[in-house]
């Protein structure tokens, strides 16, 4: 008998082969109108297969281990499938602040 991963532990809800393929494809789409529309079509392949409302996937994004619920949470769906398009304005502002290109170090403490 094979030990199945515990769903309560990270990795217990890891994406399968099809889900990983869809995530890989959508994560490489260009950050433009056509790229987003193609990603929306492709991500339906994964989201239609997940159980509602408990459907979740364990992934690593930006160095963080996350359990994302893409069925009923639009932000988590965008982060899972199209991280290159996720909150680009805010991420750019945070990046400028954290690299010292902002107005000053006192400003940085208010952002973090």
Whether 90 and 79 have beta carbons less than 8 Å apart is answered as: no
Q: Mention every residue, 6+ apart, whose C-beta is less than 8 A from residue 94.
A: 111
> For position 107, what pLDDT does the model report?
52
| Number of other residues whose CB lies within 10 A of the CB of residue 73 | 13
| Number of other residues whose CB lies within 10 A of the CB of residue 39 | 22
What is the reported pTM? 0.74
CA-to-CA separations, 45 to 14, 40, 51, 103, 111, in angstroms, rounded: 16, 9, 13, 44, 37
> For position 100, what pLDDT does the model report?
65
> In which residue ranges of the chain is pLDDT below 50?
1, 108
> For position 109, what pLDDT does the model report?
52
> For position 52, what pLDDT does the model report?
74
> For position 23, what pLDDT does the model report?
96
> For position 7, what pLDDT does the model report?
72
């Amino acid at each position: 008998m094979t030990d199945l991963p515990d769903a309560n532990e990270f990795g217990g809800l890891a994406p399968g082969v099809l889900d990983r393929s869809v995530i890989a494809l959508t994560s490489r789409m260009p950050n433009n109108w056509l790229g987003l529309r193609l990603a929306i079509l492709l991500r339906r392949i994964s989201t239609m297969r997940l159980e509602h409302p408990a459907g979740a996937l364990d992934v690593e994004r930006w160095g963080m281990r996350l359990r994302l619920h893409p069925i009923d949470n639009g932000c988590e769906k965008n982060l899972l499938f199209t991280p290159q398009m996720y909150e680009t304005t805010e991420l750019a502002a945070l990046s400028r602040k954290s690299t010292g290109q902002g107005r000053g170090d006192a400003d940085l403490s208010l952002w973090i």
